[in-house]
Structures are given as structure tokens and as C-alpha cells.
């Protein structure tokens, strides 16, 4: 106990993959405390159907309000947590909270799906699919209302195992999507090998989308390719009316971005949703 107080990060060390500096060890110890003491929350960003302009669901994005240091963005702590088993607890917490939110909305008469980001490292935990399925059972939520967004990077870790875990989730009607498509270690091979049904085109291609941008042809080709594979396409980082209109012309299925709304705490999302009657007017 005394040793643990003196070196609060010590309990992580057996499970750490890489040598960390003191900063990272402290951050991970604080993140462990954050999990146990309500410093984490989810913000929700709407996803809009480009055919009907209706809100189909939301992406859940993790927020950490540190008692002394204020808000710490996920880009700062998720990549570090991914090098320790703490990422498994963070993901389980996020899915648990997202499912609780789905039932909360259902009690208000609102039917929305929630997409949770997962790390490819999660897919290597032997009980990942079991954990997710148990959480669906706990909340009595239909798998069809849950989506898992996987960032492409680490599929290579163990493809067979990844396919096995993902297939169990897909059999439970959970939607699986590839996040940040077109960046990182992305390989087109995975589109065929994995039971994914959605690609999220990375925001770097979408942000500055116009008829004269190079991204125009990339996004258009990604939409055509995905549709030929029987998959749906989400464009993230939609910041302008021009991008929204072009994506709609391309036949892109779903749009998400600051042009529509920023990620919001649940109560703020609820006001936004009710003010807009569950629809977005791109005017």
C-alpha cells in the first residue's frame, strides 16, 4: 500500500509494452484515478443522413476534465493509454456509458445509434467481444444501435484474431466501421478481409473539399469504391456548406462535422436535437 502511494504508477508497469518517461507514467496513473472518480465524460456529435437530412445517430467522444489541469484532449491521453492495458478499461467505460445514454434517449422517445471509438489494441484482449456482448445484455440494448469505429493502424497486429473478434460482434448486429480511412497504415486489403460495413473518410480529405481541390477525386472515388463493396460512407470534418453539398452530390451517405454541430455534452445535445426536430437544415 505504502509503496503504491509512493509510486502510484507501479501497478501499471508489468503490463506496459514500452518504456515510458515519467510524464507518461504520471498521466496514466492520473487517468486511472480519473476513471474511478467521474472525471471522464462523453460528448456527442450528430451524424446526418445526406438523403433526408435527419439525425441518424451520434459519435461519442471522450472528454477528461482534470481537477487541476482542466480539460485534456483525447489526442493527448488515448495514444498513451493504448500502450497499456488501461485502454481496455477506458473502452469498456465508454461503451457502458454510451449504452446507458441510448436507454436514456429511448426513455425520451428518441431512437439514436451511438458510435464508440475503439483501439485496435482492444481487439487483442481475449475477452473483448465477450465484454461488449455482456454490456449489451446489461443494458438490454439491441446491437444494431451500437457502432464501433476502429482506427485502421493496428489491424496488422493479428489479422486472424481481429477477424474472429469482429465477426462475433458483427453477428450481434453491431455496426463496424473503419475510422480515418485513407490515412495511417491503411490497406485496401482490410476492406475485403474484415466484416466492416462503413468507412469514415478522414477529415483531411473533407475539410477543404471543393470542385477544384485534389481531395475532390479522392473522396468521390472512395464513395464509389465503398458502394461497390456494399459499404456505407461517412464523411467526417464537414466544415462548410460547399463540402456538405458536394458530398450529397457524390452520393455520400452520412455527414459529420462542425458545419452541422460540434461534439456536445448530452444535455446540450438534447436541446440541439429538440430545437432542430432531429433534422439538419443546411441553409
Q: Out of ligand C2E, Mg ion, none, which partner does residue 263 contact, by CB within 5 to 8 A per kind?
A: ligand C2E
Residues 3-22 that bind ligand C2E (CB under 6 A): none
Instruction: Work out whether 179 is an interface residue with Mg ion (CB under 5 A).
Output: yes
Residue 257, interface with ligand C2E (CB under 6 A)? yes
Contact call for residue 96 and ligand C2E (CB under 6 A): no
Phi, psi (degrees; rounded to nearest 5) at 42 = -115, 140
Q: Is 74 in the site for ligand C2E (CB under 6 A)?
A: yes
Stretch that binds ligand C2E, among 28-36, 72-80, 159-167, 187-195 (CB under 6 A): 72-80
Give the strand pairing for 113-118 and 55-66. Answer: parallel
Among 79, 78, 100, 99, smallest CA distance to 34 is for 78
Element (H, E) at 79: helix 74-81
Q: How many residues does the chain have?
A: 283
Helix, strand, coil percent values for the chain (each to nearest 5): 50, 20, 30
**Residue-wise DSSP of 194-258:** S---EEEE-HHHHTT--TTSTHHHHHHHHHHHHHHTT-EEEEE---SHHHHHHHHHHT--EEEST
Among 27, 61, 99, 223, contact with ligand C2E (rule: CB under 6 A): 61
String marking each residue 195-224 x if it binds ligand C2E according to CB under 6 A:
--------x---------------------
Contacting residues toward ligand C2E, per CB under 6 A: 45, 61-62, 73-75, 78, 94, 117-119, 149, 151, 179-180, 203, 236-239, 257-258, 263
Contacting residues toward Mg ion, per CB under 5 A: 117, 149, 151, 179-180
Amino acid at each position: 500500500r505504502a509503496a503504491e502511494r509512493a509510486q502510484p504508477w507501479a501497478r501499471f508497469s508489468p503490463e506496459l509494452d514500452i518504456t515510458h518517461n515519467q510524464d507518461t507514467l504520471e498521466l496514466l496513473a492520473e487517468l486511472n484515478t480519473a476513471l474511478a472518480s467521474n472525471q471522464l465524460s462523453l460528448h456527442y456529435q450528430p451524424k446526418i443522413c445526406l438523403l433526408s437530412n435527419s439525425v441518424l445517430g451520434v459519435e461519442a467522444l471522450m472528454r477528461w476534465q482534470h481537477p487541476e489541469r482542466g480539460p485534456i484532449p483525447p489526442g493527448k491521453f488515448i495514444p498513451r493509454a493504448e500502450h497499456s492495458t488501461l485502454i481496455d478499461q477506458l473502452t469498456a467505460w465508454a461503451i457502458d456509458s454510451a449504452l446507458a445514454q441510448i436507454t436514456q434517449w429511448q426513455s425520451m422517445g428518441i431512437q439514436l445509434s451511438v458510435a464508440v471509438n475503439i483501439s485496435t489494441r482492444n481487439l487483442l484482449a481475449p475477452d473483448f467481444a465477450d465484454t461488449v456482448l455482456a454490456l449489451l445484455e446489461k443494458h438490454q440494448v439491441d446491437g444494431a444501435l451500437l457502432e464501433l469505429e476502429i482506427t485502421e493502424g493496428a489491424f496488422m497486429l493479428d489479422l486472424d484474431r481481429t477477424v474472429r473478434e469482429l465477426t462475433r460482434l458483427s453477428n450481434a448486429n453491431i455496426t463496424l466501421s473503419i475510422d480515418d480511412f485513407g490515412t495511417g497504415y491503411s490497406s485496401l486489403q482490410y476492406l475485403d478481409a474484415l466484416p466492416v460495413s462503413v468507412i469514415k473518410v478522414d477529415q483531411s480529405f473533407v475539410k477543404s473539399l471543393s470542385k477544384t481541390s485534389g481531395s475532390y477525386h479522392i473522396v468521390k472515388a472512395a464513395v464509389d469504391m465503398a458502394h461497390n463493396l456494399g459499404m456505407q460512407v461517412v464523411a467526417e470534418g464537414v466544415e462548410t456548406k460547399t463540402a456538405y453539398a458536394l458530398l450529397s452530390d457524390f452520393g455520400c451517405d452520412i455527414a459529420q462535422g462542425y458545419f452541422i454541430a460540434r461534439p456536445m455534452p448530452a444535455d446540450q445535445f438534447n436541446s440541439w436535437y429538440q430545437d432542430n426536430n432531429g433534422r439538419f437544415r443546411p441553409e
